[in-house]
Structure 1
Protein backbone atom coordinates (compact mmCIF):
# COMPACT_ATOMS: atom_id res chain seq x y z
CA UNK A 1 0.00 0.00 0.00
CA UNK A 2 2.84 2.39 0.84
CA UNK A 3 4.44 1.68 -2.52
CA UNK A 4 1.20 2.59 -4.32
CA UNK A 5 0.89 5.82 -2.36
CA UNK A 6 4.50 6.70 -3.08
CA UNK A 7 4.04 5.96 -6.79
CA UNK A 8 0.89 8.11 -6.88
CA UNK A 9 2.69 10.98 -5.14
CA UNK A 10 5.64 10.69 -7.53
CA UNK A 11 3.30 10.87 -10.55
CA UNK A 12 1.10 13.70 -9.31
CA UNK A 13 3.23 16.01 -7.19
CA UNK A 14 4.88 18.90 -9.03
CA UNK A 15 8.56 18.65 -9.78
CA UNK A 16 11.17 21.19 -8.81
CA UNK A 17 11.53 22.18 -12.45
CA UNK A 18 7.81 22.80 -12.89
CA UNK A 19 7.80 24.98 -9.77
CA UNK A 20 10.79 26.95 -11.06
CA UNK A 21 8.92 27.65 -14.31
CA UNK A 22 5.74 28.77 -12.55
CA UNK A 23 5.33 32.51 -13.14
CA UNK A 24 3.53 33.03 -9.81
CA UNK A 25 6.39 31.53 -7.82
CA UNK A 26 9.20 33.22 -9.74
CA UNK A 27 9.62 36.15 -7.28
CA UNK A 28 10.02 33.81 -4.29
CA UNK A 29 11.36 30.74 -6.08
CA UNK A 30 14.81 31.08 -4.53
CA UNK A 31 13.27 30.75 -1.06
CA UNK A 32 10.54 28.20 -1.81
CA UNK A 33 12.84 25.92 -3.76
CA UNK A 34 15.60 25.86 -1.19
CA UNK A 35 16.76 22.23 -1.16
CA UNK A 36 16.63 21.91 2.63
CA UNK A 37 12.85 22.45 2.56
CA UNK A 38 12.33 19.57 0.12
CA UNK A 39 14.85 17.11 1.57
CA UNK A 40 13.54 14.45 3.93
CA UNK A 41 15.63 14.75 7.09
CA UNK A 42 15.15 13.71 10.68
CA UNK A 43 14.45 17.29 11.70
CA UNK A 44 12.37 18.61 8.81
CA UNK A 45 9.93 15.70 8.52
CA UNK A 46 8.59 15.84 12.11
CA UNK A 47 8.26 19.61 11.76
CA UNK A 48 6.32 19.08 8.54
CA UNK A 49 4.02 16.54 10.18
CA UNK A 50 3.26 18.84 13.11
CA UNK A 51 2.72 21.82 10.81
CA UNK A 52 0.43 19.80 8.55
CA UNK A 53 -1.63 18.73 11.55
CA UNK A 54 -2.03 22.33 12.70
CA UNK A 55 -2.99 23.75 9.32
CA UNK A 56 -5.11 20.72 8.45
CA UNK A 57 -7.26 20.96 11.56
CA UNK A 58 -7.43 24.69 12.27
CA UNK A 59 -7.75 26.07 8.74
CA UNK A 60 -10.63 24.58 6.74
CA UNK A 61 -9.69 26.44 3.54
CA UNK A 62 -6.35 26.68 1.70
CA UNK A 63 -4.62 24.17 3.97
CA UNK A 64 -1.93 23.07 1.51
CA UNK A 65 -0.80 26.56 0.41
CA UNK A 66 -0.85 27.75 4.00
CA UNK A 67 1.23 24.82 5.21
CA UNK A 68 3.73 25.36 2.38
CA UNK A 69 3.96 29.05 3.24
CA UNK A 70 4.42 28.40 6.96
CA UNK A 71 7.03 25.72 6.24
CA UNK A 72 9.43 28.39 5.01
CA UNK A 73 10.17 30.14 8.33
CA UNK A 74 9.75 26.93 10.34
CA UNK A 75 12.25 25.02 8.14
CA UNK A 76 9.74 22.17 7.81
CA UNK A 77 9.61 19.70 4.95
CA UNK A 78 7.12 21.15 2.45
CA UNK A 79 5.82 17.87 0.92
CA UNK A 80 5.29 16.34 4.35
CA UNK A 81 3.47 19.42 5.63
CA UNK A 82 1.27 19.54 2.54
CA UNK A 83 0.39 15.84 2.61
CA UNK A 84 -0.29 15.79 6.34
CA UNK A 85 -3.02 18.41 5.92
CA UNK A 86 -5.14 15.67 4.37
CA UNK A 87 -5.78 14.31 7.86
CA UNK A 88 -8.93 16.36 7.47
CA UNK A 89 -11.11 15.37 4.56
CA UNK A 90 -14.84 14.92 4.03
CA UNK A 91 -14.77 11.61 5.91
CA UNK A 92 -12.72 12.68 8.92
CA UNK A 93 -13.88 16.26 9.46
CA UNK A 94 -17.37 15.56 10.93
CA UNK A 95 -16.10 13.10 13.58
CA UNK A 96 -13.20 15.45 14.34
CA UNK A 97 -15.55 18.39 14.92
CA UNK A 98 -17.91 16.28 17.04
CA UNK A 99 -14.96 15.13 19.15
CA UNK A 100 -13.69 18.71 19.39
CA UNK A 101 -17.10 19.93 20.57
CA UNK A 102 -17.32 17.11 23.12
CA UNK A 103 -13.79 17.77 24.45
CA UNK A 104 -14.37 21.53 24.56
CA UNK A 105 -17.68 21.20 26.39
CA UNK A 106 -16.03 18.91 28.96
CA UNK A 107 -13.10 21.29 29.45
CA UNK A 108 -15.42 24.29 29.79
CA UNK A 109 -17.84 22.25 31.94
CA UNK A 110 -20.90 22.85 29.79
CA UNK A 111 -23.36 20.25 31.03
CA UNK A 112 -26.12 20.49 28.47
CA UNK A 113 -25.68 22.40 25.27
CA UNK A 114 -29.29 22.45 24.23
CA UNK A 115 -31.31 25.26 22.74
CA UNK A 116 -33.93 26.52 25.17
CA UNK A 117 -37.33 27.91 24.24
CA UNK A 118 -37.00 31.49 23.06
CA UNK A 119 -33.29 31.13 22.38
CA UNK A 120 -32.04 31.39 18.82
CA UNK A 121 -29.58 29.06 17.14
CA UNK A 122 -27.16 31.96 16.77
CA UNK A 123 -27.24 32.60 20.52
CA UNK A 124 -26.62 28.90 21.21
CA UNK A 125 -23.77 28.85 18.70
CA UNK A 126 -22.06 31.91 20.18
CA UNK A 127 -22.69 31.18 23.86
CA UNK A 128 -22.15 27.42 24.08
CA UNK A 129 -21.20 25.63 20.89
CA UNK A 130 -18.69 28.17 19.59
CA UNK A 131 -16.43 28.36 22.63
CA UNK A 132 -16.63 24.59 23.13
CA UNK A 133 -15.73 23.94 19.52
CA UNK A 134 -12.82 26.40 19.54
CA UNK A 135 -11.36 25.03 22.79
CA UNK A 136 -11.82 21.46 21.56
CA UNK A 137 -10.21 22.18 18.18
CA UNK A 138 -7.24 23.85 19.85
CA UNK A 139 -6.87 20.93 22.25
CA UNK A 140 -7.10 18.35 19.47
CA UNK A 141 -4.69 20.32 17.30
CA UNK A 142 -2.08 20.53 20.04
CA UNK A 143 -2.50 16.84 20.85
CA UNK A 144 -2.32 15.72 17.21
CA UNK A 145 0.65 17.99 16.43
CA UNK A 146 2.70 16.81 19.41
CA UNK A 147 1.76 13.16 18.79
CA UNK A 148 2.50 13.46 15.07
CA UNK A 149 5.84 15.11 15.75
CA UNK A 150 6.84 12.46 18.29
CA UNK A 151 5.59 9.54 16.18
CA UNK A 152 7.37 10.71 13.05
CA UNK A 153 10.60 11.41 14.96
CA UNK A 154 10.46 7.97 16.61
CA UNK A 155 9.51 6.34 13.30
CA UNK A 156 12.44 8.03 11.60
CA UNK A 157 14.78 6.85 14.35
CA UNK A 158 13.41 3.28 14.13
CA UNK A 159 13.88 3.25 10.35
CA UNK A 160 17.49 4.49 10.61
CA UNK A 161 18.36 1.94 13.32
CA UNK A 162 16.99 -0.85 11.11
CA UNK A 163 19.14 0.38 8.21
CA UNK A 164 22.24 0.53 10.45
CA UNK A 165 21.66 -3.00 11.72
CA UNK A 166 21.11 -4.37 8.22
CA UNK A 167 24.31 -2.67 7.04
CA UNK A 168 26.23 -4.06 10.01
CA UNK A 169 24.96 -7.58 9.25
CA UNK A 170 25.99 -7.24 5.61
CA UNK A 171 29.46 -6.06 6.63
CA UNK A 172 29.87 -8.90 9.10
CA UNK A 173 29.43 -11.36 6.27
CA UNK A 174 28.05 -14.87 6.43
CA UNK A 175 28.29 -16.59 9.78
CA UNK A 176 30.44 -19.70 9.94
Structure 2
Protein backbone atom coordinates (compact mmCIF):
# COMPACT_ATOMS: atom_id res chain seq x y z
CA UNK A 1 0.00 0.00 0.00
CA UNK A 2 1.49 3.34 -1.10
CA UNK A 3 1.65 6.21 1.33
CA UNK A 4 0.53 9.56 0.15
CA UNK A 5 2.77 12.62 0.50
CA UNK A 6 2.19 14.90 3.48
CA UNK A 7 0.02 17.87 2.58
CA UNK A 8 0.10 21.28 4.19
CA UNK A 9 -3.00 20.33 6.16
CA UNK A 10 -1.29 17.17 7.45
CA UNK A 11 1.74 19.21 8.56
CA UNK A 12 -0.54 21.72 10.30
CA UNK A 13 -2.44 18.92 12.03
CA UNK A 14 0.83 17.36 13.22
CA UNK A 15 2.08 20.74 14.49
CA UNK A 16 -1.24 21.29 16.29
CA UNK A 17 -1.05 17.89 17.98
CA UNK A 18 2.45 18.67 19.23
CA UNK A 19 1.55 22.17 20.49
CA UNK A 20 -2.00 21.83 21.78
CA UNK A 21 -2.24 21.85 25.55
CA UNK A 22 -2.84 18.40 26.95
CA UNK A 23 -5.39 17.54 29.59
CA UNK A 24 -2.51 16.82 31.95
CA UNK A 25 -0.93 20.26 31.43
CA UNK A 26 -4.30 21.93 32.01
CA UNK A 27 -4.80 19.80 35.12
CA UNK A 28 -1.54 21.12 36.57
CA UNK A 29 -2.38 24.78 35.95
CA UNK A 30 -2.78 26.70 39.21
CA UNK A 31 -5.19 29.13 37.57
CA UNK A 32 -7.53 26.39 36.35
CA UNK A 33 -7.37 24.19 39.46
CA UNK A 34 -10.64 25.54 41.00
CA UNK A 35 -12.58 24.73 37.82
CA UNK A 36 -10.49 21.80 36.57
CA UNK A 37 -13.41 19.38 36.90
CA UNK A 38 -15.37 21.54 34.43
CA UNK A 39 -12.51 22.35 32.05
CA UNK A 40 -11.45 18.72 31.81
CA UNK A 41 -14.92 17.42 30.95
CA UNK A 42 -14.52 15.02 27.99
CA UNK A 43 -17.11 16.77 25.82
CA UNK A 44 -14.97 19.94 25.81
CA UNK A 45 -12.01 18.02 24.38
CA UNK A 46 -13.81 16.34 21.46
CA UNK A 47 -13.36 17.76 17.99
CA UNK A 48 -16.85 18.25 16.57
CA UNK A 49 -18.22 20.45 13.82
CA UNK A 50 -19.78 22.79 16.38
CA UNK A 51 -17.15 22.88 19.12
CA UNK A 52 -14.14 23.61 16.88
CA UNK A 53 -15.48 26.85 15.29
CA UNK A 54 -16.65 28.00 18.73
CA UNK A 55 -13.17 27.34 20.08
CA UNK A 56 -11.59 29.33 17.25
CA UNK A 57 -13.90 32.30 17.83
CA UNK A 58 -13.41 32.30 21.60
CA UNK A 59 -9.66 31.88 21.22
CA UNK A 60 -9.61 34.95 18.99
CA UNK A 61 -11.54 36.93 21.60
CA UNK A 62 -9.23 35.87 24.43
CA UNK A 63 -6.10 36.32 22.33
CA UNK A 64 -6.87 39.84 21.15
CA UNK A 65 -8.66 41.37 24.15
CA UNK A 66 -6.62 39.97 27.04
CA UNK A 67 -2.89 40.74 27.15
CA UNK A 68 -2.00 38.12 29.79
CA UNK A 69 -3.38 34.74 30.80
CA UNK A 70 -4.90 34.19 27.38
CA UNK A 71 -4.88 30.40 27.42
CA UNK A 72 -6.50 30.18 30.85
CA UNK A 73 -9.09 32.81 29.92
CA UNK A 74 -9.86 31.00 26.66
CA UNK A 75 -10.32 27.74 28.55
CA UNK A 76 -12.63 29.40 31.07
CA UNK A 77 -14.83 31.15 28.51
CA UNK A 78 -15.03 27.94 26.49
CA UNK A 79 -17.00 26.31 29.32
CA UNK A 80 -20.39 28.03 28.98
CA UNK A 81 -20.23 27.94 25.18
CA UNK A 82 -19.28 24.22 25.04
CA UNK A 83 -16.34 25.09 22.80
CA UNK A 84 -13.33 22.91 22.21
CA UNK A 85 -10.79 23.86 24.90
CA UNK A 86 -7.58 22.88 23.04
CA UNK A 87 -8.64 24.77 19.91
CA UNK A 88 -9.55 27.85 21.95
CA UNK A 89 -6.19 27.69 23.72
CA UNK A 90 -4.25 27.21 20.48
CA UNK A 91 -6.04 30.06 18.73
CA UNK A 92 -4.86 32.54 21.36
CA UNK A 93 -1.43 32.30 19.72
CA UNK A 94 -2.79 34.59 16.97
CA UNK A 95 -1.34 37.31 19.18
CA UNK A 96 2.29 37.14 20.13
CA UNK A 97 5.11 39.67 20.57
CA UNK A 98 5.41 39.99 16.79
CA UNK A 99 1.73 40.52 15.95
CA UNK A 100 0.54 42.49 19.00
CA UNK A 101 2.04 45.87 17.99
CA UNK A 102 0.43 45.63 14.56
CA UNK A 103 -2.94 44.71 16.05
CA UNK A 104 -2.78 47.58 18.55
CA UNK A 105 -1.75 50.05 15.84
CA UNK A 106 -4.54 48.86 13.54
CA UNK A 107 -7.04 49.00 16.41
CA UNK A 108 -6.04 52.57 17.20
CA UNK A 109 -6.30 53.61 13.56
CA UNK A 110 -9.70 51.96 13.12
CA UNK A 111 -11.01 53.46 16.35
CA UNK A 112 -9.71 56.95 15.51
CA UNK A 113 -11.29 56.71 12.07
CA UNK A 114 -14.64 55.59 13.51
CA UNK A 115 -14.64 58.28 16.20
CA UNK A 116 -13.25 60.88 13.76
CA UNK A 117 -10.80 62.07 16.38
CA UNK A 118 -7.70 64.11 15.85
CA UNK A 119 -5.85 62.43 18.67
CA UNK A 120 -2.07 62.79 18.89
CA UNK A 121 0.03 60.54 16.72
CA UNK A 122 1.48 57.30 18.00
CA UNK A 123 5.07 58.70 18.13
CA UNK A 124 4.14 61.86 20.03
CA UNK A 125 4.55 60.52 23.62
CA UNK A 126 8.25 59.93 22.98
CA UNK A 127 8.81 63.62 22.34
CA UNK A 128 6.67 64.88 25.22
CA UNK A 129 7.38 65.28 28.92
CA UNK A 130 6.49 62.63 31.52
CA UNK A 131 2.94 63.92 31.98
CA UNK A 132 2.49 64.19 28.21
CA UNK A 133 2.35 60.43 27.69
CA UNK A 134 -0.44 60.13 30.27
CA UNK A 135 -2.43 62.73 28.35
CA UNK A 136 -1.70 60.86 25.10
CA UNK A 137 -2.82 57.60 26.69
CA UNK A 138 -6.01 59.25 27.94
CA UNK A 139 -6.72 60.58 24.42
CA UNK A 140 -5.81 57.32 22.71
CA UNK A 141 -7.87 55.12 25.04
CA UNK A 142 -11.34 55.41 23.46
CA UNK A 143 -10.16 54.89 19.86
CA UNK A 144 -7.95 51.97 20.94
CA UNK A 145 -10.72 50.25 22.89
CA UNK A 146 -13.28 50.75 20.13
CA UNK A 147 -10.83 49.50 17.50
CA UNK A 148 -9.91 46.45 19.60
CA UNK A 149 -13.57 45.57 20.09
CA UNK A 150 -14.29 45.91 16.38
CA UNK A 151 -11.20 43.95 15.29
CA UNK A 152 -11.99 41.25 17.86
CA UNK A 153 -15.55 40.93 16.62
CA UNK A 154 -14.54 40.75 12.97
CA UNK A 155 -11.71 38.27 13.64
CA UNK A 156 -13.94 36.05 15.80
CA UNK A 157 -16.68 35.97 13.15
CA UNK A 158 -14.18 35.30 10.36
CA UNK A 159 -12.46 32.63 12.44
CA UNK A 160 -15.77 30.93 13.19
CA UNK A 161 -16.79 30.99 9.54
CA UNK A 162 -13.44 29.77 8.22
CA UNK A 163 -13.25 26.99 10.83
CA UNK A 164 -16.78 25.84 9.99
CA UNK A 165 -15.98 25.94 6.26
CA UNK A 166 -12.68 24.14 6.82
CA UNK A 167 -14.43 21.47 8.85
CA UNK A 168 -17.03 20.99 6.11
CA UNK A 169 -14.37 20.73 3.39
CA UNK A 170 -12.33 18.29 5.46
CA UNK A 171 -15.35 16.01 5.98
CA UNK A 172 -16.25 16.26 2.29
CA UNK A 173 -12.68 15.23 1.37
CA UNK A 174 -12.88 12.26 3.74
CA UNK A 175 -16.23 11.16 2.26
CA UNK A 176 -14.89 11.50 -1.27
CA UNK A 177 -11.81 9.43 -0.42
CA UNK A 178 -13.99 6.78 1.23
CA UNK A 179 -16.25 6.51 -1.81
CA UNK A 180 -13.26 6.29 -4.15
CA UNK A 181 -11.85 3.38 -2.13
CA UNK A 182 -15.14 1.46 -2.23
If the length of structure 2 is used for normalisation, what is the TM-score? 0.80
Distance 1:98 1:14 in 2: 30
Q: CA deviation at 1:122?
A: 1.5
* Residue matched to 2:81: 74
Residue 90 (str. 1) matches residue 97 (str. 2): yes
Contact 2:58 2:74 in 1 (8 A): yes
1:120 is paired with a residue whose SS is helix
Residue 167 (str. 1) matches residue 178 (str. 2): yes
Contact 2:21 2:86 in 1 (8 A): no
Alignment coverage as a number of residue pairs: 169
1:1-176 mapped onto 2 (5 Å cutoff): 3=10, 6-11=13-18, 13=20, 15-16=22-23, 18=24, 22=28, 28-111=35-118, 113-114=120-121, 120-127=132-139, 129-171=140-182
Contact 2:51 2:84 in 1 (8 A): yes
Greater CA radius of gyration, 1 or 2? 1
Query: What is the alpha-carbon root mean square deviation over aligned residues?
Result: 2.7
Q: CA deviation at 1:164?
A: 1.2
Contact 2:64 2:148 in 1 (8 A): yes
